[in-house]
Structure 1
């Protein structure tokens, strides 16, 4: 079925490890100039360099509109600390935070912590879904108006509007409430790569945005249909789940030697989907897949960030904007507003109000 919704675009701003944030700031600002929904910053325990979430907290004050989505690994980390850190990024960015949920599956990474051995992938993704669930509950544990800040009476918070979570997962439990007040977005945006079968279930149940890697529009459409069907089975509105095709792109000059595995059309290689061509070629592919109803948008990872992101923004995006296929400005101030997602109400506030009126 042809797509009628807005086209969404996002980009990765990582690349070789860097130990200062200047390049990340510059790339995020460039993406912001193109009105992209958000930028991601890849990370893992096996990757050298500063923590992605901390880097984007540094990027936040030097940007105004672009969404900021760091990779956050749920394995070997404390869910309570993860939720606090992501909520803090949402406050620092004034409502532009998301988090890209990932797992750590290697024994080498497990030894960095020394608390447990590497687990099977199915168990790790089950735990990741539980961390996402616990995080949402912790963000809900403060009602929006829980803070009083009444200097005259010395009351900072209304205790009746703080709630215990009492969440029990397969590997952890969390009581709460959170130590950070409810984030500006209510709940920061959850992003998961739902290409693999194991990740697809937590993606359908907990994600706001799902990345999928596909070599054709038909393959991408099948993945989106499957994700939305699973989301509906969990009682979610399937139309509220945004599915973006994830492509690693090389927009180098035609005379340059192609990167290994790249071609002029999307190709699958392991966990990656690659595209090699020019900015106009990429614009044509984005247009075709979106108009054909395959995806809600694209997440693009430049092979060479400084070169290729500039060509994405000033070439591909500019052409899409000229054709009135992509917006020329951000529609709001928060990442949820960029994505057309509503701000969720606190489940505990709703339950308290419902109990008071019943």
Structure 2
């Protein structure tokens, strides 16, 4: 069997809303990003492939026992990028109320800051709270928003291609820094937006940063056809859902990860989880997306116990070097507008 992809979720102090209250947690480190950075560095040292970053447009609920603020996922990933070397970084970006042109430019910039380890999880929002935060449009049905999200993914890739790889000249003696013939208009129109282009950011190191979709609702399933990485919830019919993704009309061949919330409060929990991950691999998944209840408590156990167990079972191996696309076994796309691309 092939080596499984491993990913870990960064969400405040952890997936448990009360994780910040643990005696091992410095609450101030949540807001400075230090707690997240420490968790990602531990994960990277253990050989984990990807860190994902939870994010929403809505402010967290103002309730007793909960942290009432959340750092921006993209900003946090950019903060962590220069302090890491190998792990992929995928912030969640809600495309419903944000401008597609600026979304793609931000993801491209993350790819530069991380030296080719960037990507994003495209998400939508149907809530009135998110609409009120931005104030640009009213809430809409999820099916409409996921349809729009597919257009955002499409135009993002076109804008990443709007600069040829050799568009930058930097010829100081002649004063020519960009070859204008190697920049391209995308002239993209969807039912809800239009973009002329080109991008304001040169073509990213990976060509296309990795695009992921979290299939947490049926309406997101069609958008998964456009993703290179698909995150599925743990379900009893996992094998059937993976098979359905593999046969979706028009789909590429996405890497499918099963997402699971974890807490190592009980003895033997790491061994039990290793067994479950082995079963998921047999069900056809390409990897596992771990959502620790507490970053300070659970991530060290993931790094020191779970990953060694998976290596001993030959479920995971040594990570590939290079860009995130290389690490996931994905080729670097040829720019669609470049001469001789045939696209």
TM-score (norm 2): 0.89
The correspondence for 1:347, drawn from 331, 336, 339, is 336
The correspondence for 1:13, drawn from 4, 10, 22, is 10
Q: Tell me the distance in 1 between the aligned counterparts of 2:176 and 2:302.
A: 51
Q: Tell me the distance in 2 between the aligned counterparts of 1:237 and 1:203.
A: 9
Matched with 2:26 is: none
Contact 2:105 2:200 in 1 (8 A): yes
Matched with 2:63 is: none
C-alpha deviation, 1:237, in angstroms: 4.4
- Note the residue ranges of structure 2 that are not aligned, 5 or more in a row: 14-19, 21-29, 60-68
Give secondary structure in 1 for the equivalent of 2:125: coil
CA RMSD of aligned residues (A): 1.6
The correspondence for 2:120, drawn from 99, 116, 123, is 99
Give secondary structure in 1 for the equivalent of 2:337: helix
C-alpha deviation, 1:194, in angstroms: 2.2
Matched with 1:301 is: 291
Structure 1's consecutive aligned runs of 4 or more residues displaced over 4 angstroms after TM superposition are none
Contact 1:195 1:223 in 2 (8 A): no
**How is 1:176-255 mapped onto 2 (pairs within 5 angstroms)?**
176-204=197-225, 206-216=226-236, 219-230=237-248, 233-234=249-250, 236-238=251-253, 241-254=254-267
- Note the residue ranges of structure 1 that are not aligned, 5 or more in a row: 255-276
The correspondence for 2:323, drawn from 331, 334, 346, is 334
Give secondary structure in 2 for the equivalent of 1:19: helix
Q: Tell me the distance in 2 between the aligned counterparts of 1:180 and 1:197.
A: 34
Q: Tell me the distance in 2 between the aligned counterparts of 1:177 and 1:243.
A: 32
C-alpha deviation, 1:313, in angstroms: 1.6
Q: Tell me the distance in 1 between the aligned counterparts of 2:220 and 2:149.
A: 9
Q: Tell me the distance in 2 between the aligned counterparts of 1:314 and 1:149.
A: 47
C-alpha deviation, 1:354, in angstroms: 5.7
Aligned residue pairs, count: 319
C-alpha deviation, 1:5, in angstroms: 2.6
| 1:315-336 deviation per Cα after TM superposition (whole angstroms, max 9, x unaligned) | 11111112332123x3112111
| 1:41-99 deviation per Cα after TM superposition (whole angstroms, max 9, x unaligned) | 10101133221101111101110000001010101100000001000000000000010
